[in-house]
Amino acid sequence: MGNEFRLSDLAARIGARVVGGEGEDAVVSGVAPIEEAGPGQVTFLANRKLARFARDSNASGIIAREAVPGAHTAFLISDNPYLAFACVVEMFHPPARFTPGISDKAAVDPSAHLGKDVTVSPCVVIEEGAEVGDRTVLFPGVYVGKGVSIGSDCLAYPNVVLYHGVKVGSRVILHAGCVIGSDGFGFAPTPEGFRKIPQVGTVEIEDDVEIGANTTIDRATLGVTRVCRGAKLDNLIQVAHNVVIGGNTVIAAQAGISGSTRIGSRVMIGGQAGLAGHLEVEDGILLGAKCGVPDSLRASDSRVWSGIPVMPHPTWLRLSALMPKVPELFRRVKRLEEGKNQKGET
């Protein structure tokens, strides 16, 4: 929106070197995807598959690990183009500013403690004894239950629900409709039907976590369901009671983690993956999309797992390729049983 920079400004900010094109004095006024970027725009190339777009591009600059032969545009050479791109996008699109203050259409309990420059939008409800840190922004319809504590510089988008007692760190982003602290799913069978096990634990979300839209994180039966520092959760994920998600772990949309399971640090979980309860996934493990994990996984057995149930990823790849040929395998075995199809026969 009116921001203009020279390529040299961008390069200085991201520690890149400018090569080719019209040189580092070219002026750019925006970012665009590589398929669409034109003159006056900068783009990035993180995925080699898209190199053909770089060759034909009229963009004024492309952030990339190395120049693409045959391209006539300028390149900003960076070791981590994706990160460099994040920084450049922020130069053109600085984070939204909010006007602090408490809407008269919000309902804030007098015993709640709000920090400096908090934004409390219309239709926000903050219950007894809750604490909200400095500069945190609560969008409309956010519910902050009794005794909840939220740190500073958080963003809670519309209709986020924090049940009573939940703790949220600083610089946490909670997307619309996510629910933190709903009751864990526990019932004791009795002759008259199921009896609810009171869920009297809580949830703790540590600093720098991001939680996706409509994701649900249940409170512990006793103790704490915990999402550790820097973890990133996508939309529509289910995290059951007493789960622990390690630091800097990344979970894609619609994955589900059953009760009391412990996920290590720097784990990556694909979309729609499902993990059974009471198991452990070691640090650094990668779980493929849609996989099913019935038991604990050790990194020493395999770093990447896929399939239902999971197996080491290379095995899954071989199996996947062969699955459509299984019906033919049945026919081949039948022929063998009939004594056909062998060397020297038929």
Using CB under 8 A as the binding rule, the residues of this chain from 80 to 99 that contact its own copies are 80, 82-83, 85-86, 89-90, 92-93, 95-96
Binding of residue 36 to its own copies (CB under 8 A): yes
Helix intervals (H) in the chain = 7-14, 51-56, 81-92, 313-322, 326-337
Q: Output 14 or 116, the one with its CB closest to its own copies.
A: 14
Among 2, 69, 110, 324, binds its own copies (CB under 8 A): 324
Binding of residue 337 to its own copies (CB under 8 A): yes
Residues 121, 143 contacting (CB under 8 angstroms): no
Q: Output 115 or 271, the one with its CB closest to its own copies.
A: 271
Among 8, 29, 170, 182, binds its own copies (CB under 8 A): 182
Residue that the structure tokens 């750019």 belong to: 28
Among 23, 187, 298, 301, binds its own copies (CB under 8 A): 187
DSSP β-bridge partners for residue 17: 77
Considering the complex, what minimum distance in angstroms separates the CB of residue 150 from its own copies?
15
User: Taking CB under 8 A as the criterion, which residues in 218-257 touch its own copies?
Assistant: 218, 220-223, 229-230, 232, 234-236, 238, 240, 242, 247-248, 250, 252-254, 256
| Residue 268 DSSP code | E
Taking CB under 8 A as the binding criterion, the range among 6-14, 18-26, 57-65, 274-282 that sits at the site for its own copies is 274-282
Binding of residue 110 to its own copies (CB under 8 A): no
Considering the complex, what minimum distance in angstroms separates the CB of residue 74 from its own copies?
19
Binding of residue 300 to its own copies (CB under 8 A): no
Considering the complex, what minimum distance in angstroms separates the CB of residue 52 from its own copies?
14
> Which of 237, 305, 243, 231 is closest to 271 using CA atoms?
237
168-206: burial string, b at 16+ Cβ within 10 Å, e else:
bbbbbbbbbbbbbbbbbebeeeeeeeeeeeebebbbbbb
> Which of 199, 207, 99, 103 is closest to 149 using CA atoms?
207
C-alpha distances out from residue 157 to 67, 72, 173, 333, Å: 40, 43, 8, 59
| Known catalytic membership, residue 241 | yes
Q: Which of 93, 175, 241, 278 is catalytic?
A: 241
Among 123, 279, 299, 304, binds its own copies (CB under 8 A): 123
Q: Output 19 or 213, the one with its CB closest to its own copies.
A: 213
Kindly determine how many residues on this chain lie close enough to bind its own copies according to the rule CB under 8 A.
117
Taking CB under 8 A as the binding criterion, the range among 9-17, 52-60, 68-76, 194-202 that sits at the site for its own copies is 194-202
Residues 62, 75 contacting (CB under 8 angstroms): yes
Among 135, 167, 175, 226, binds its own copies (CB under 8 A): 175
Binding of residue 2 to its own copies (CB under 8 A): no
Question: Can the peptide bond before residue 39 be classed as cis, meaning omega within 30 degrees of 0?
Answer: no
Residues 282, 299 contacting (CB under 8 angstroms): yes
- Outline where DSSP puts E strands in 70-141: 75-77, 101-102, 107-108, 113-114, 119-120, 125-126, 131-132, 137-138
Residues contacting residue 200 through CB under 8 Å, at least 6 positions apart: 221, 222
Instruction: Round to the nearest angstrom and report the end-to-end CA distance of the chain.
Output: 77
Considering the complex, what minimum distance in angstroms separates the CB of residue 117 from its own copies?
19
Q: Output 152 or 261, the one with its CB closest to its own copies.
A: 261
Residues with catalytic function: 241
